[in-house]
């Protein structure tokens, strides 16, 4: 298989607080490949979004990437370790937009209400591609058209609050693609939208991916979306990937008890009507109160005993798949 | 440097308590980490206690005039006497130099006047009980002796005692006033935002008119209109109401503005979609999300209120002598002879500044603590 | 857009009318009329007005007529640009007010400029560098600014000006120029005297605006659109200045208009303490002596000025807030 | 002339200030020091009239210039044939200079009136006790006191050069005073016992006042600060119409009589006035109208309602010095508007005024003295003659609250109030020990003073006695705070004391008094009030007790309002009674108190009495006032009003002590025309 555009190894993003260190992302590995979608899935608070921000280098204080590598293969073809770059360096800024872009949860809140969408799109274009105002505008219109915004040449002068939710998200995507990045991070892109719009947006993403060989990191808590969109999956629990692999394999044979639990919680047409969806016992602990051993052990239905509670299961796997669970060996 | 407090997630030990804590508790915990604010809170509590106990703290009758003690500068208390702890002050010999016409006081080291704790002095009632016990006073004092910690004014009245009483007046004016205007502000602001339409327009006009009036003339007119036969208390209340009538507008505007901006926000729409009642939306979804702003506004309104009382009494439009308030005391310093001959009368400004500072820090702390983004 | 402006204009007119009624009513509130005051003043200055003279005066000034008649007369004249005659000064009101109004506006405006000039950058700094030493420093200074009543500053100022340079530093002109008609020399003289009172006046307002700016900006800084902007690869400075600051400017702008009456009121107090030739002392004197037309006109003029101020700030608001602008469309 | 000699009678008593000196010594005895040592109190002195008329006359350079240009006739043509010749106090002065002074607004007209009181027909000498010629060179009063003749100066001229003759008196009497549109009812000064008198032109330079009843007082009225004798500057400004003469040649044009009502009303409207009445009111007011011909040393060029009230020398002024120099020496007077009294004092201390006695605050004396060298001025303390700078005036016609009224109208109650006041305390605190504590009677040196013992009668500090008296009255019950209770409803007996924050710091003084009254169980509720409000309440008979100066009462007949309820325009002691008195019983409320009745009767009878008898009557009245304590005196004979005089060291001919009294029109008796700027 081709080598990844972005490969994250042992990423650690910690927040230093008076209450102690919060290990939001802790020893996270994953790879992103050209033209493929990596679905990052997990309950809220498991560190998905922090991971995304870490990759973009926009972690807010007092958060900090404290370890690991973020290897990015740039347009130019050379490979950079973003983790080694200072967040506010010009070099890093040159990555945001042209290399990696972000599509954000709430389309409304993600736009400033004080500028036209045109203004907010062209800004990035002019900054990175050094285009003239008119050229930038032309490109923006083109982008809007591409993401399926009707009458883009008129819409471009409108304000976000004048658009519908769906349109806003399209514009959001257009803005993300303004400097044609090769990696798009979509952080819960559809959460705030109604079902039909959701579908449209997902289609759009897929279409764009096909057109431009875009690599997408799709962050969601919704296994359904994963099933629909992703090629590969990374299941995150308390800041690390407990299981990764091609979506088909994982859906077919989930290896980690947590993955299974998640999958069980998807409603299916086959399920008997009026039956409660199985939920995962207990609630997700505070990342600061991370249990010893396998972090999932307290909630795990198949816990093996002290080994799970005392020692961290290593990542075991062959090929694209890997899992962190003693059920699959690796026990000392 | 270390942050005095932060909004980050809590320590493992506290994990569970936090998980189960109410918004209010969280706010309180966060507030407690805002050292400056906590200090301010304590300062204010002390100030208000002092205000309530004013007469107890006073060493002499704040109204008692005596030409022989006119313009005495702050006097030192000597703590130790022949080895032991016997706080005392020296007697003073005063005379007017008929060349310069200045009063001059000489310390009469031959005469020591000793201090007593819980000494007896003038009568007053505290929580309904009449007593003549004061925190401290003089034992073997003659008519002209006194513990002039802050000196005396032209009429020979002890500034410390007057300040104590003034503090009571000024602090409570602020408190009463702010509650009135807070009430007005939230109600009117809320109503105008929620119902909109002509109600909104009406309220907006009201606000605009009130705020377009330079307040001083309003004050002057109103205070001049007060029947001169009114007692000090009546004037006091009237003035409180007048202040608050002029200062509810900021709160109303804040509230209205926030309501309007929040109406746009998704979570309100969500709540509406979820079929929540309007009242529920307002009180459970909207109000909490901008308590911080209301608190900030109040934290500014309160000192502003105290200042306006002070300024207006200073101008002679608010409380007037023989009533005592910070403003009235500062009025004495309005002329050059006081500034030159008795500059210590300006010390009244110190508690004014401290209290207002404290209120602001407190408000700031509360604001940050109550902030929903925490 | 147009309709918006028109509506605001109409409302401004209504407001002005209300203010005129209010100001006239307030002046009527105190018992007694100008002639009473006049007799009193004469008595105080060791002279007297005979009962006949008093009656004649009442008739002359129409003080024997009912309230609404007097008001009607007043407004009727004002419409024709005649603000009536000051009874105390026995001169047309506008002449009496004369430069004073402009000196007041100038003083308030100078204070306004100082206020914004300081509040905006400081507010931004304090928010962006929250809990930095700078933030604490400015916050402290700001709080002191709020905490010290401006008349107190004025007092201290008066004291030092007396101690160091002699009395007339209090005024807006040195003794030499106060007698002369307007000239460049006089303007320069004014410019030399203006800053001190202006700063005294501005301090309180500045401190408050800093707080408002800081509070708003702190809220805005946590909004998702800031993350979006960062994700575009903009420099932090540009991110902050273009997005959250712009949003925070909104309440800031709506505050500006109301700073003005605040400053005017303040200027009254410090003018009295420092003896500045603004409308302040004139107004207080007029109200005490119940010189209705004078006091009424001053209050009215100031009110109108602030209404205009409000109107302008509404336009500013419209300009900074597209929601409003489009809403009007 | 007989009357002149009579006048001299008590002048001599005063001219030597020894008695006054004693009074002062006693005033400060309480401070174990004698402020005479401060060297700030001089002796009464001023320029005096010289008999010999100089052979030739000289004039100010600025006028000589105009004469050269032919804009002005030569000086000897401008001066009267018999100018008033003054012997300057110290030296013949030099011409020129601008007298810088402060004023506080259009209500401060007296500030200029008093400087120009040289337009009074008669004046008083430096001691304030002897009537001397001024505009009128002399007078005569008939034995029966019914006719009074004034002799004018031949060839005297108005400030516009128009002759000043008996016609100007006729004009005033016929066209102003007798015009009921302008003066609705005759003024008391002109109608003794309500019988209107007449003013008749005898010849160009002689006018005669004729009365139906003896009116010996009229001479004093003429010399005093009265409606008839006050002079044009004060009596024809601020809406007044007194003053005995008017510039007819100028004012005719504004009177209907000389054209038509329509014509003058048209004229008025053209100039922006509703009717001719308002136009006239403006035109005859020298403070406002620079065109108005006047007689004073200086006339207005920039009116009082501007930031700088400016005056320039009157080229036709009727006085010369013994060397034949036309007075005044000083060319201009510029008064700059001060925003507040504080500012006046600050500017004075900064040496921005050349001579200021008005609005100077006695409380600031220590700093004023400190700044003498920086401001390059000397300080003089001029002691007044009135008994009380602060008189506690009882409203003798009060009735709103019967209980209170009952007590206010009870002599022993008033006496107790008086005995409850510690005047030495007040003197020390508010007068820096410079006043004389005691009753309301004028200084012992004044002819109307009833005798030393009346200074202290009921006017010492004796709380024990006061308490006895109050108990005896039946005010025995007291509340927890030791205040006496009303006899009707058992509530605390509260006396409302209305104190205006004008002139002296009355509110604060009363705070002190209220504290002293605590010891006699009386609760004084001190109300600080706006001037207008307080006076309006007095006029409406709403006040119980008000506080004001009794300035002017040093010569009771000329200014009685501060010691007797006789003048409804300012009746501190009961407006209803004043109405009753002035209307001859037609209006108001007759006094029930026989003593008060007697006092008023005595006062009415005095107008027809000769000098000595009149003064005896005054003494009787004073005895009643003090014995009854209608007007409770506290501290007086002080420099508190107009008595702290800051004089630039550049000025010459400045008297070391000026007479501070209403009738003296201070500083006119110090003859400002003779002051000059030394080289």
Q: Which residues pair with B134 in a beta bridge?
A: B119
Kindly report the average pLDDT of chain B as a whole number: 79
Instruction: Identify the DSSP state of B77.
Output: P
pLDDT number for residue D529:
78
Q: Domain for residue A1, yes or no?
A: no
DSSP A10: E
Q: Do A211 and A93 share a structural domain? A: yes
For residue C309, count other CB atoms closer than 10 A to its CB. Answer: 19
| Measured CA angle at A33 (ends A27, A34), to 5 deg | 150
**C288 chain-D contacts, CB cut-off 8 A:** 530-532
* Average pLDDT along chain D: 89
The answer on B150 and B290 residing in a single domain is no
Residues B93 and B230 reside in one and the same domain = no
- Across C222-234, average pLDDT: 84
Can you give the three-state secondary structure of D389-416, one letter per residue? CCEEEECCCCCCCHHHHHHHCCHHHHHH
User: Rounded distance, CA B309 to CA B352, Å?
Assistant: 11
Of C70-79, D161-170, D563-572, give the lowest mean pLDDT range.
Answer: C70-79
Q: Is the pLDDT of residue D216 over 60?
A: yes
Give whichever of A112-121, B84-93, C87-96, D413-422 has the largest mean pLDDT: D413-422
CA A136 to CA A119: how far, in whole Å? 10
DSSP string computed for B328-359: HHHHGGGSHHHHHH-GGGGGGHHHHHHHHHHH
If asked whether residues A123 and A39 sit together in one domain, one would say no
Residue D32 has pLDDT above 50, yes or no: no
Residue B70 lies in a domain: yes
- Per the structure, the count of domains in chain B is 2
Asked if A190 and A53 sit in the same domain, the reply is: yes
Residue C313 reports pLDDT greater than 90: no
Q: Is the pLDDT of residue D459 over 60?
A: yes
- Pair (A74, A218) in one structural domain: yes
Q: What's the mean pLDDT in C259-281?
A: 79
Phi, psi of D98, rounded to the nearest 5 degrees: -120, 125
Structure tokens at B26: 């969280």
Domain that holds residue A310: 6-99+181-328
Among candidate residues B96, B131, B156, the one where a domain is terminated: B156
Which residue did the predictor score with more confidence, A129 or D158? D158
For residue B202, CA distances in Å to B183, B188, C257, D467, D495 come to 18, 10, 19, 62, 47
Q: What is the mean pLDDT of residues D536-549?
A: 90
Would residue B315 count as lying in a domain?
yes
Specify whether A217 is located in the same domain as A290. Answer: yes
pLDDT at B158 (0 to 100): 93
Q: Which chains touch B (3 or more CB pairs under 8 A)?
A: A, C, D
Residues A219, A94 share a domain: yes
Kindly state whether residues B172 and B264 are assigned to the same domain. Answer: yes
List chain B residues with CB under 8 Å of A22: 8-9
**B127 and B172 share a domain?**
no
d(CA D675, CA D679): 13
Inter-residue contact D419 to D413 (CB < 8 Å): no
**Domain stop point among A156, A180, A204:** A180
Judge if A320 and A194 occupy the same domain: yes
Higher pLDDT, C179 or C81: C81
For residue A58, report the phi and psi dihedrals to the nearest 5 degrees. Answer: -125, 40
Minimal C-alpha gap between B10 and chain A (Å): 5
User: Which fold, D106-302+316-321?
Assistant: Dipeptide-binding Protein; domain 1 (3.90.76)
Residue D220 has pLDDT above 90, yes or no: yes
Token couple for A265: 């919680």
Domain ends where: B107, B127, B156?
A: B156
CATH code for the domain of A73: 3.40.50.300
Query: Rounded CA gap, C22 and C299, in Å?
Result: 9
Is D455:D435 a contact under the CB 8 Å cutoff? Answer: no
CA distances from C13 to A295, B210, C307, D375, D409 (A): 69, 15, 9, 53, 57
C42/D2 Cα distance (integer angstroms): 36
What three-state secondary structure class fits A169?
A: helix
Residues B214 and B304 in one domain: yes
Residues of B in contact with A285 (CB under 8 A): 15
Q: Is the bond preceding residue B322 a cis peptide, omega within 30 degrees? A: yes
Q: D319-356 as b/e, with b when 16 or more CB fall inside 10 Å?
A: bbbbebbbbbbbbbbbbbbbbbbbbbbbbbbbbbbbbb
Same domain, B248 and B139: no
Count of beta carbons in the 10 Å neighbourhood of residue B114:
15
Residues B246 and B323 in one domain: yes
A53, A92, A159: residue with CB nearest C322: A159
Lowest mean pLDDT among C184-198, D271-285, D568-582: C184-198
Tokens of B290: 């901008």
**Residue A292, min C-alpha distance to chain B (Å):** 13
Quick one: pLDDT at residue A19? 67
Let me know if residue B121 belongs to a domain. Answer: yes
Q: Please check the confidence at residue C62 and state whether its pLDDT lies above 90.
A: no
Q: Is residue D37 less than 8 Å (CB to CB) from chain B?
A: yes
DSSP one-letter code for D440: S
Q: Look at B290-304, D249-263, D430-444, D520-534 and tell me which has the smallest mean pLDDT.
A: B290-304
Q: Give every CB contact of residue B24 below 8 A, 6+ residues apart in sequence.
A: none
Residue C329, pLDDT score: 37
- Give the residue among D187, D182, D302, D243 at the shortest CA–CA distance from D567: D187
- Measured CA to CA, the distance from residue D526 to residue D202 in angstroms comes to 56
Q: For chain B, how many residues are written?
A: 374
CA distance C246 to chain A (A): 7
Inform me whether the C-beta atom of residue D343 falls under 8 Å from chain B C-beta atoms: no
| Same-domain status, B98 and B208 | no
Answer whether B197 touches C (CB < 8 Å).
no
Same-domain check for residues A193 and A271: yes
Other C-beta atoms closer than 10 Å to the C-beta of D622 total: 25
Q: Which fold has domain D391-636?
A: Dipeptide-binding Protein; domain 3 (3.10.105)
In Å, the largest CA–CA distance within chain B is: 87
- pLDDT one-digit tens code per residue, B108-165: 888 888 888 888 888 888 888 888 889 888 887 787 888 899 999 999 999 999 999 9
Q: Determine the residue among C149, C158, C225 to mutate to test chain B binding: the one whose Cβ has the most chain B Cβ atoms within 10 Å.
A: C149
Confidence of residue D15 (pLDDT cuts 50, 70, 90): very low
Mean pLDDT of A112-141: 88
Q: Is A192 left (phi over 0), alpha (psi -120 to 50) or beta?
A: alpha
Alpha carbons C102 and C107: distance in angstroms, whole number: 8
Coil, strand, or helix at residue A305? coil
Chains in contact with A, where contact means 3 or more Cβ–Cβ distances below 8 Å, are: B, C
- CATH code of the domain covering residue B287: 1.10.3720.10
Q: Which residues, listed in sequence order, are joined to residue D308 by a DSSP beta bridge?
A: D336
Q: Which of C216, C211, C224, C326 is nearest to B257 (CA)?
A: C216
Residues B149 and B167 in one domain: no
Domain boundary at B156, B187, B207, which?
A: B156
- The average pLDDT across A194-210 equals 86
pLDDT band at A95 (very low <50, low <70, confident <90, very high): confident
Domains: count for chain A: 2
State whether B214 and B291 are in the same domain.
yes
Q: Mind listing the pLDDT tens digit for each residue in C19-48? A: 788 777 766 766 667 677 677 666 655 556
Boundaries of domain holding B359:
41-51+162-370
Please, what are the domains in chain C? 93-328 (1.10.3720.10)
| Pair of tokens at residue C326 | 């489009």
Q: Residues 474-503, chain D: which have Cβ within 8 Å of B?
A: 480-481, 496, 498, 501
Q: Are A156 and A139 in contact (CB under 8 A)?
A: no
SS3 sequence, B29-42? HHHHCCHHHHHHHH
Q: Give me the helices (H) in chain C, please.
A: 2-28, 34-44, 51-61, 67-79, 93-128, 133-147, 150-160, 175-178, 184-193, 195-221, 224-231, 236-242, 244-274, 279-288, 292-320, 322-328
Phi, psi (degrees; rounded to nearest 5) at B91: -70, 160
The confidence score (pLDDT) of residue D61 equals 95
Residue with tokens 């130019």, as numbered in its chain = A76
Residues 492-551 of D with CB under 8 A from B: 496, 498, 501, 507-508, 511-512, 514-516, 525-530, 533, 537
Rg of chain B over all Cα atoms, to the nearest angstrom: 26
Q: How far apart are the first and last CA of chain B?
A: 20
Substitution target in D24, D432, D492, D500 with the highest count of B β-carbons within 10 Å is D432
- Choose from C54-63, D388-397, D525-534 the range with maximum mean pLDDT: D388-397
Q: Single out the residue of B256, A307, D346, D195 nearest to residue C164, CA to CA.
A: D346
Task: Say what angle helices B232-264 and B159-195 make with each other, to 10 degrees.
Answer: 40
Q: Is residue A196 part of a domain?
A: yes
Which chains neighbour C (Cβ–Cβ under 8 Å, 3 or more pairs)?
A: A, B, D
pLDDT band at D2 (very low <50, low <70, confident <90, very high): very low
Write down the ipTM of this complex. 0.73
Asked whether residue A150 falls in the same domain as residue A239, the answer is: no
pLDDT at residue D19, rounded to an integer: 38
Q: Round to the nearest angstrom and report the end-to-end CA distance of chain C.
A: 5
For A213-244, the pLDDT digits (tens) are 889 999 888 888 888 888 999 998 888 888 98
Identify the pLDDT of residue C291: 74
Last residue of a domain, one of A130, A162, A180: A180
| pLDDT over threshold 60, residue B374 | no
D348 contacts D378 by C-beta, under 8 angstroms = no
Domain assignments of chain D as residue spans, ordered by start: 106-302+316-321, 391-636
Q: Is the pLDDT of residue B4 over 50?
A: no
Best of B6, B8, B212 to disrupt the C interface (most C CBs within 10 Å) is: B212
| Contact indicator for C107, C202 with CB cutoff of 8 Å | no
Distance of CA C149 to the CA centre of its chain: 16
Up-side HSE of residue B146: CA atoms within 13 Å toward CB?
29
As a whole number of angstroms, the distance between CA D454 and CA D633 comes to 11
- Taking one residue from A and the other from B, the number of pairs with CB-CB distance under 8 angstroms is 42
CA A45 to chain centre: 13
Q: What is the pLDDT of residue D368?
A: 93
pLDDT over threshold 90, residue A198: no
pLDDT surpasses 70 at A157:
yes
Looking at per-residue pLDDT, the higher value among C179 and B138 belongs to B138
Together in a domain, A138 and A214: no
For B5, other C-beta atoms within 10 Å of its C-beta total: 22
In this structure, are residues D551 and D391 in contact, taking their beta carbons and an 8 Å threshold? no
- H/E run at residue B123: strand B103-126
Exposure on the CB side of residue C286, measured as CA atoms within 13 A = 31
**Contact yes or no for B308/B215 (Cβ under 8 A):** yes
Domain-embedded: residue A205: yes
Give B76's contacts (C-beta < 8 A, 6+ positions apart). B89
pLDDT at D6 over 60: no
d(CA D570, CA D548): 11
pLDDT in tens, D310-332: 999 999 999 999 999 999 999 99
Highest mean pLDDT among C161-175, D135-149, D581-595: D135-149
Same domain, B150 and B229: no
> Does position D50 have pLDDT exceeding 90, yes or no?
yes
Contact yes or no for B123 and D480 at CB 8 A = yes
Q: Are residues B339 and B198 in the same domain?
A: yes
Lowest mean pLDDT: which of A25-34, B346-355, D13-22, D498-507? D13-22
Residue C250: what are its φ and ψ, rounded to 5°? -55, -65
Please return the burial class of A94, using the count of CB atoms within 10 Å of its CB with bins 0-12, 13-18 and 19+. middle
Residue A290 covered by a domain: yes
A157 and A245: one domain? no
Measured between alpha carbons, how far is residue B58 from residues B54, B209, B248, C101, D515 in Å? 6, 44, 35, 46, 17
Residue contacts between A and C (CB atoms, under 8 Å): 82
Predicted confidence band of residue A315 (pLDDT cuts 50, 70, 90): confident
Last residue of a domain, one of A180, A212, A238: A180
Residue A78 shares a structural domain with residue A36: yes
**CB-based contact C286:C295 (threshold 8 Å):** yes
Q: Is position A114 within any domain?
A: yes
């Amino acid at each position: 298989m081709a080598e990844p555009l972005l490969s994250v190894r042992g990423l650690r993003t910690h927040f230093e607080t008076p209450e102690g260190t919060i290990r939001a992302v802790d020893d996270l590995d994953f790879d992103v490949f050209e033209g493929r979608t990596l679905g990052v899935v997990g309950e809220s608070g498991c560190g998905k979004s922090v991971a995304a921000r870490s990759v973009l280098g926009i972690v807010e204080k007092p958060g900090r990437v404290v370890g690991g590598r973020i290897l990015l293969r740039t347009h130019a073809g050379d490979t950079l370790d973003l983790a080694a770059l200072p967040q506010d360096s010009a070099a890093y800024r040159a990555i945001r937009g042209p290399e990696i872009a972000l599509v954000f949860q709430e389309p409304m809140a993600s736009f400033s209400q004080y500028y036209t969408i045109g203004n907010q799109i062209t800004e990035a274009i002019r900054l990175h591609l050094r285009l003239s105002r008119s050229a930038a505008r032309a490109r923006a219109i083109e982008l809007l058209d591409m993401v399926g915004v009707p009458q883009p040449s008129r819409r471009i002068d409108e304000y976000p609050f004048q658009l519908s939710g769906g349109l806003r998200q399209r514009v959001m995507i257009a803005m993300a693609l303004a400097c044609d990045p090769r990696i798009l991070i979509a952080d819960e892109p559809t959460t705030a939208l109604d079902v039909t719009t959701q579908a449209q947006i997902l289609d759009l993403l897929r279409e764009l991916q096909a057109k431009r060989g875009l690599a997408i990191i799709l962050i969601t808590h919704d296994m359904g979306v994963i099933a629909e969109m992703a090629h590969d999956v990374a299941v995150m629990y308390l800041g690390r990937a407990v299981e990764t692999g091609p979506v088909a394999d994982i859906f077919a044979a989930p290896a980690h008890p947590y993955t299974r639990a998640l999958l069980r919680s998807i409603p299916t047409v086959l399920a008997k009507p009026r039956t409660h969806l199985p939920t995962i016992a207990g609630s997700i602990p505070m990342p600061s109160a991370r249990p010893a051993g396998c972090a999932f052990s307290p909630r795990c239905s198949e816990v093996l005993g002290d080994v799970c509670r005392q020692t961290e299961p290593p990542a075991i796997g062959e090929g694209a798949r890997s899992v962190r669970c003693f059920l699959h060996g690796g026990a000392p | 440097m270390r942050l005095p407090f932060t909004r980050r997630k809590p320590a493992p030990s506290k994990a569970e308590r936090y998980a189960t804590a109410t918004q209010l508790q969280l706010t309180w915990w966060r507030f407690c980490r805002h050292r400056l604010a906590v200090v301010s809170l304590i300062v204010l509590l002390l100030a208000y206690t002092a205000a309530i106990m004013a007469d107890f703290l006073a060493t002499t009758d704040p109204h008692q005039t005596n030409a022989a003690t006119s313009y005495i500068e702050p006097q030192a208390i000597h703590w130790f006497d022949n080895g032991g702890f016997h706080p005392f002050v020296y007697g003073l010999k005063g005379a007017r130099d008929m060349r310069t016409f200045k009063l001059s006081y000489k310390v009469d080291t031959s005469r020591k006047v000793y201090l007593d704790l819980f000494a007896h002095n003038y009568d007053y009632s505290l929580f309904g009980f009449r007593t003549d016990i004061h925190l401290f006073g003089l034992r073997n004092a003659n008519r002209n002796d006194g513990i002039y910690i802050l000196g005396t004014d032209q009429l020979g009245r002890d500034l410390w005692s007057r300040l104590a009483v003034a503090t009571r007046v000024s602090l409570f004016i602020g408190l009463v006033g702010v509650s009135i205007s807070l009430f007005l502000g939230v109600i009117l602001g809320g109503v105008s935002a929620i119902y909109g339409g002509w109600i909104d327009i009406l309220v907006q006009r009201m606000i605009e008119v009130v705020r377009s009036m330079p307040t001083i003339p309003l004050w002057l007119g109103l205070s001049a209109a007060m029947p001169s036969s009114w007692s000090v208390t009546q004037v006091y209340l009237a003035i409180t109401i007048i202040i608050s009538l002029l200062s509810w507008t900021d709160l109303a505007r804040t509230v209205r503005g926030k309501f309007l901006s929040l109406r746009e926000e998704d979570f309100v729409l969500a709540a509406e979609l979820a079929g929540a009642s309007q009242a529920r939306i307002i009180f459970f979804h909207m109000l909490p999300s901008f308590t911080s702003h209301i608190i900030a506004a109040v934290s500014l309104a309160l000192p502003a209120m105290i200042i306006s009382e002070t300024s207006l009494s200073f101008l002679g439009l608010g409380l007037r002598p023989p009533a005592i308030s910070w403003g009235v005391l500062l009025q004495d310093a309005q002329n050059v002879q006081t500034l030159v001959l008795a500059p210590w009368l300006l010390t009244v400004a110190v508690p004014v500044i401290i209290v207002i500072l404290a209120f602001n820090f407190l408000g700031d702390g509360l604001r940050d603590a109550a902030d929903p983004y925490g | 857009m147009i309709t918006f402006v028109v509506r605001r204009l109409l409302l401004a007119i209504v407001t002005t009318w209300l203010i005129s009624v209010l100001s006239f009513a307030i002046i009527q509130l105190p018992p007694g009329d100008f002639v009473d005051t006049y007799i009193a003043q004469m008595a105080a200055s060791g002279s007297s007005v005979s009962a006949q003279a008093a009656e004649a005066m009442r008739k002359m000034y129409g003080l024997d007529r009912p309230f609404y008649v007097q008001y009607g007369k007043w407004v009727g004249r004002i419409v024709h640009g005649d603000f009536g005659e000051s009874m105390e000064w026995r001169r047309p009101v506008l002449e009496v007010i004369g430069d004073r109004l402009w000196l007041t506006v100038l003083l308030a405006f100078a204070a306004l400029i100082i206020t914004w000039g300081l509040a905006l950058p400081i507010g931004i700094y304090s928010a962006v560098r929250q809990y930095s030493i700078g933030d604490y420093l400015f916050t402290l200074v700001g709080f002191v600014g709020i905490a010290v009543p401006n008349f107190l500053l004025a007092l201290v100022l008066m004291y030092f000006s007396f101690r160091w340079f002699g009395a007339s530093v209090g005024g807006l002109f040195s003794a030499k120029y106060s007698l002369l008609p307007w000239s460049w020399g006089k303007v320069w003289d004014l410019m030399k005297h203006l800053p001190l009172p202006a700063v005294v006046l501005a301090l309180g307002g500045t401190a408050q605006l800093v707080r408002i700016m800081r509070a708003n900006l702190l809220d805005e800084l946590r909004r998702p659109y800031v993350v979006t902007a960062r994700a575009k690869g903009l420099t932090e400075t540009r991110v902050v200045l273009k997005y959250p600051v712009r949003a925070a400017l909104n309440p800031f702008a709506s505050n500006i208009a109301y700073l003005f009456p605040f400053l005017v009121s303040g200027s009254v107090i410090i003018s009295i303490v420092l003896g500045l030739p603004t409308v302040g002392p004139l107004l207080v004197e007029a109200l005490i002596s119940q010189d209705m037309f004078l006091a009424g006109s001053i209050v009215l003029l100031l009110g109108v000025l602030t209404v205009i101020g409000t109107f302008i700030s509404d336009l500013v608001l419209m300009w900074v807030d597209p929601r409003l602008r489009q809403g009007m469309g | 002339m007989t009357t002149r000699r009579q006048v001299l009678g008590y002048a001599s008593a005063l001219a030597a200030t020894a008695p006054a000196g004693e009074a002062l010594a006693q005033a400060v005895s309480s401070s174990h020091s004698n402020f005479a040592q401060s060297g700030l109190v001089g002796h009464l002195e001023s320029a005096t009239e010289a008999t010999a008329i100089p052979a030739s006359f000289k004039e100010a350079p600025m006028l000589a210039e105009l004469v050269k240009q032919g804009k002005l006739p030569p000086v000897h043509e401008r001066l009267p044939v018999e100018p008033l010749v003054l012997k300057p106090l110290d030296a013949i002065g030099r011409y020129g200079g601008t007298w810088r002074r402060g004023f506080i607004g259009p209500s401060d007209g007296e500030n200029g009136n008093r400087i120009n009181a040289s337009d009074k027909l008669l004046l008083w000498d430096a001691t304030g006790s002897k009537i001397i010629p001024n505009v009128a060179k002399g007078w005569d009063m008939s034995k029966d006191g019914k006719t009074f003749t004034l002799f004018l100066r031949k060839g005297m001229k108005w400030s516009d050069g128009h002759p000043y003759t008996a016609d100007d008196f006729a004009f005033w009497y016929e066209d102003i005073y007798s015009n009921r549109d302008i003066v609705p009812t005759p003024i008391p000064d002109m109608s003794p016992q309500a019988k209107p008198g007449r003013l008749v032109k005898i010849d160009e330079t002689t006018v005669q006042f004729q009365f139906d009843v003896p009116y010996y007082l009229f001479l004093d009225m003429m010399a005093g600060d009265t409606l008839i004798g006050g002079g044009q500057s004060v009596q024809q400004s601020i809406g007044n119409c007194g003053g005995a003469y008017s510039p007819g040649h100028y004012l005719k044009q504004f009177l209907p009589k000389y054209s038509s009502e329509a014509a003058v009303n048209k004229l008025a409207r053209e100039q922006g006035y509703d009717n001719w009445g308002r136009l006239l009111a403006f035109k005859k007011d020298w403070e406002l109208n620079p065109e108005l011909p006047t007689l004073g040393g200086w006339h207005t060029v920039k009116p009082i309602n501007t930031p700088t009230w400016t005056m320039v020398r009157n080229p036709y002024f009727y006085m010369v010095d013994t060397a034949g120099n036309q007075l005044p020496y000083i060319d201009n007077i510029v008064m700059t508007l001060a925003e507040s009294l504080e500012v006046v004092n600050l500017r004075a201390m900064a040496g921005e005024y050349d001579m200021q006695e008005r609005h100077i605050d006695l409380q600031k004396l220590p700093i004023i003295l400190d700044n003498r060298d920086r401001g390059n001025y000397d300080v003089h303390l001029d002691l007044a003659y009135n008994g009380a700078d602060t008189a506690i005036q009882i409203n003798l016609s009060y009735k709103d609250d019967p209980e209170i009224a009952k007590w206010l109208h009870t002599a022993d109650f008033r006496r107790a109030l008086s005995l409850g006041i510690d005047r030495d305390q007040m003197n020390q605190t508010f007068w820096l020990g410079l006043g004389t504590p005691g009753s309301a009677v004028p200084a012992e040196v004044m002819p109307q003073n009833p005798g030393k013992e009346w200074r202290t009668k009921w006017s010492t500090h004796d709380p024990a006695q006061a308490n006895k008296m109050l108990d005896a009255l039946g005010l025995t019950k007291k509340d927890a705070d030791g205040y006496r209770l009303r006899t009707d409803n058992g509530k605390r007996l509260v006396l409302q004391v209305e104190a205006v924050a004008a002139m002296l710091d009355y509110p604060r003084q009363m705070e002190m008094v209220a504290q002293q009254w605590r010891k006699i169980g009386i609760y004084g509720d001190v109300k600080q009030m706006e001037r207008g409000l307080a006076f309006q309440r007095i006029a409406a008979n709403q006040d119980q007790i008000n506080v004001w100066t009794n300035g002017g009462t040093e010569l009771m007949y000329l200014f009685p309002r501060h010691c007797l309820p006789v003048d409804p325009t300012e009746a501190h002691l009961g407006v209803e009674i004043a109405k009753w008195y002035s209307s001859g019983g037609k209006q108001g409320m007759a006094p029930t108190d026989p003593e008060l009745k007697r006092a008023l009767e005595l006062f009415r009878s005095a107008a027809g009495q000769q000098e000595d008898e009149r003064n005896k009557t005054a003494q009787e009245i004073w005895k009643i006032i003090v014995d009854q304590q209608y007007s409770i005196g506290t501290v007086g004979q002080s420099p508190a009003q107009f008595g702290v005089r800051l004089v630039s060291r550049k000025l010459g001919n400045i008297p070391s002590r000026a007479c501070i009294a209403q009738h003296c029109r201070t500083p006119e008796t110090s003859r400002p025309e003779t002051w000059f700027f030394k080289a």
